[in-house]
Chain A
Amino acid sequence: MIVTVDATSPVPVVEQLRAQVARHVADGTLRPGDSLPPIRHLAADLGIARGTVAKVYEQLARDGVVRTAGRHGTLVAGAGEGPTPPPAHPEVDLAADALAHVVRAAGLDDAAAHAALAAALGRNRG
């Protein structure tokens, strides 16, 4: 259950963290009812601002991945509590998320992203 963030990546830290936590929930590493670390602990461990972690937890709660349980902190939402369809290939989804963010940050359109992906697939065929 390790998450890694890279401040030098073109993908925003919030998105890096959100995607990884969502992935851990989707692949069953984090189960319904499991508690996430308190915001201050995760922020200290990663060396990022508390507000960044708070934003991640808010987005995850909005997506139905986690729920806040008062003094019990933030818990992984149970099955049926939110829209968390399990991805077939979590690592591919993570890379796709990263590509989408780089494309958006560069101001490119979807066609450019599709073309880049097709070219990458072509280079790595076989």
Chain B
Amino acid sequence: MRNLALAPVLGVLLLVAIGLVALLISRARATPDDVTWLAGTRDVTPDERTVYADHLTRHRTSRLWWGGVGLAVALAASLTLNDGTFTVGTNAIGPAGDILFCLVTGIAVGALLAENYRLRRPTGPASASLAPRTPLPAAGTRRAARAVAGVALALGLVDVLVAPGARPALLTVVVLVPWLLCELVLRAVRERPRPALSPRAERVDTRLRMFAAVTVSRLELAAAMSAALWLVDLDETWNLDDDVRAVVALVGFGLLIAAIVVLWHAAPRSRGRRPLLPQDAPQPLVDGRTA
């Protein structure tokens, strides 16, 4: 009987998912305005435009598909284990049923694969510049993410001490996986070989690196908040009085909202036509308007 009731729901969900994926795929391709946003200037040669557009499309497509996989896992887990109830945030069945957690994890995997994509190194002599690399932007966001992840880890350890058992220990490890994935992406961004072909090629490489650093740092912050949300929620099981319990619930809700907002801004696209970096000058759009 329950299976019969689920069938139309599943059908509708499938249609919505297909529509959503089709919509997002249509938005994965980079437009001239996207290239200007990524390059920080309209002074871009056709070859550079191709490099920027390919990189942006690769990131968008990879994050989209893997985010979709994460979403599918969360929906499937909710349907099968959580009586068809979907949750964003903590729930009874664990992180696999949390749309936010699975989405962040999937996007982080997508970003990792996109950032580890390597063109084949040409044979023959290899050149490198001895000039220092430009530091990655969004250092404040990364510091915040590491601080939140550190607090989450501390909460997890306290949870393990207060209520010893496999569940809090396992949960602490699992919910920090997306944050760890983001750290791996940022490491890949930092360690990626730098071309020494021309100053313009170096500039393109620097912009691609900055783009990945800004968007993945925000994703890392969202991942850390998602982890903290789960581990704060465990605290509600402690023997707390009602006032403290209310504060804990409020903190959890605040983390959930903040994580969703940060995740929205972690997308590899210009939100509200904001420049990628604060120092980028606003660029006129193709149709003549100013960003």
Determine the distance from Cα of A48 to Cα of B126 in the docked complex, in whole angstroms: 9
Given the interface contacts A44-B192, A45-B194, A45-B196, does A5 sit within 8 Å of B130 by beta carbon?
A: no
- Binary CB contact string for chain B from 111 to 125 against chain A (1 if under 8 A, 0 otherwise): 000000000010011
Task: Give the total of A residues in contact with B, Cβ under 8 Å.
Answer: 22
What chain B residues lie within 8 Å of A42 (beta carbons)?
Answer: 128, 130
In the complex, are the beta carbons of B129 and A5 less than 8 A apart?
no
Say yes or no: is B243 at the interface (Cβ < 8 Å to chain A): no
Chain B binding surface SS class? loop
Q: Which residue of B lies closest to A44 (CB)?
A: B193
Q: List residues 39-73 of chain A with CB under 8 A from any CB of chain B.
A: 40-42, 44-48
What chain A residues lie within 8 Å of B287 (beta carbons)?
Answer: none
Chain A binding surface SS class? mixed
- Binary CB contact string for chain B from 165 to 178 against chain A (1 if under 8 A, 0 otherwise): 00000000000000
What chain A residues lie within 8 Å of B43 (beta carbons)?
Answer: none
Say yes or no: is B134 at the interface (Cβ < 8 Å to chain A): no
In the complex, are the beta carbons of A44 and B130 less than 8 A apart?
no
Task: Give the total of B residues in contact with A, Cβ under 8 Å.
Answer: 16
- Binary CB contact string for chain A from 81 to 115 against chain B (1 if under 8 A, 0 otherwise): 00000000000000000000000000000000000
Determine the distance from Cα of A36 to Cα of B130 in the docked complex, in whole angstroms: 6
- Binary CB contact string for chain A from 2 to 28 against chain B (1 if under 8 A, 0 otherwise): 111111100000000000010010000
Q: Which residue of A lies closest to B127 (CB)?
A: A4
In the complex, are the beta carbons of B196 and A47 less than 8 A apart?
no
Say yes or no: is B1 at the interface (Cβ < 8 Å to chain A): no
In the complex, are the beta carbons of A46 and B126 less than 8 A apart?
yes
A-B contact pairs, 26 of them (CB 8 A): A1-B130, A2-B127, A2-B128, A2-B196, A3-B128, A3-B130, A5-B125, A6-B124, A6-B125, A6-B126, A8-B124, A21-B130, A24-B130, A30-B130, A36-B130, A37-B128, A37-B129, A37-B130, A37-B133, A42-B128, A44-B191, A45-B126, A45-B128, A45-B194, A45-B196, A47-B121
A-B pairs with lowest CB-CB distance, top 10: A45-B128, A6-B125, A1-B130, A4-B127, A44-B193, A46-B126, A46-B128, A45-B193, A47-B126, A4-B125
In addition to A1-B130, A3-B127, A6-B126, 14 A-B residue pairs with Cβ atoms within 8 Å of each other are A2-B127, A2-B128, A3-B128, A4-B125, A5-B126, A30-B130, A37-B132, A41-B194, A44-B191, A44-B193, A45-B128, A46-B128, A47-B121, A48-B126
